[in-house]
Amino acid sequence: MNAPLTPTALGIGEARARLPELTVVDVRTPGEYAAGHLPGALNVPLDRFPSVLPALRRLPAGELLVVCASGARSENACRLLAEQGVTALTLTGGTQGWAADGHALRRPESGARAGWAMERQVRFTAGTIVLTGLALGLLQPAWLLLSAGLAGGLVFSALTDTCGMAAVLARRHRATEPWARRARKTPSGGPGGPT
């Protein structure tokens, strides 16, 4: 039987009570994860799901909890998993709701650097592009179209609850990770190369 395409939301209180029996997967970027995550959560950004899908399929139904900052990305992850026959739960309110409810977030002991949350990265990038378009527009009015285009993209993003800029920023971030640089240098199929 196929998993339902509408994710089942788990409230924070219920998630806390069931935490020892759940496998928690945090779909945020490594920088967001390092800034604070649920106890025992594994960091598997959304685009890496195909590589972990076989392991996720082996989990009993109802024992996989997918989390993100607010719940939006985890709902999308649950839908992707459902299309592959994997039943997963999403945390209502995400890690923000978890922390707001007074529960502690875990952070890496050392070595990992906490980065900006994806929402902050998007705001910074959008603001920089708008300011650049306005500044260049003083020299050549056609550059004002850059700011207008970004404004249209932000409106579309809000209406569709998607964010193409976040996807691009996440891809850029992954390309700069040490494992990604090693994979580009190693021939496909060789030791350390992509599988």
Active site residues: 68
Question: What DSSP line would sit under 18-81, residue for residue?
Answer: HGGGPEEEE-S-HHHHHH-B-TT-EE--GGGHHHHHHHHHTSPTT-EEEE-SSSHHHHHHHHHH
CA angle 23, 32, 176 (to 5 degrees): 110
Q: Are 64 and 23 in contact (CB under 8 A)?
A: yes
Q: What is the CA radius of gyration of the chain?
A: 19
Dihedral through CA 77, CA 48, CA 3, CA 105, nearest 10? -50
Token pair 């990770």 in the structure block, residue: 177
